[in-house]
Amino acid sequence: MTEQQLQIVATDILFYHNADEEAFIGWIDRMTFVREAYGLGRDMFLILNRFPTDDDLREIIGFCKRYGVGMSQLAKFETKENSVWMRDPEKFWCNEIFGILRNAKGS
């Protein structure tokens, strides 16, 4: 994958308090698979240092859900190995990543 493909873009993140913004940045700093993060206009770019593992993807999904980051961009990380759990129609992220409307129950 190219660097552009190994990135996640967070747009128009709404922070309700300074501590919320600090938690957002702190989470990014703790993600070992993020090589760098930078802001440009209303966007925050997270550049990954490798293709995300299953655990990385679960963390990214949680991060995206918590901060309202568009999850459809995570579809590019689907592989034949992780497709079963990523497309599980019982999970909330299935619709948010792939646009599959089902009866999602959560994680």
Which has the closest alpha carbon to 48: 86, 96, 87, 9?
A: 9
**Tally of structural domains, the chain:** 1
pTM for the predicted model, two decimal places = 0.88
Computed over every residue of the chain, the mean pLDDT equals: 91
Would residue 27 count as lying in a domain? yes
Would residue 103 count as lying in a domain? no
Would residue 19 count as lying in a domain? yes
Would residue 2 count as lying in a domain? no
The reported pLDDT for the residue numbered 98 is: 96
The reported pLDDT for the residue numbered 103 is: 53
Phi, psi of 24 (to 5 degrees): -60, -50
Per-residue model confidence as pLDDT tens digits over 56-88: 999 999 999 999 999 999 999 999 999 999 999
The reported pLDDT for the residue numbered 5 is: 84
pLDDT band (50, 70, 90) for residue 43: very high
Give residue 25's domain range: 7-98
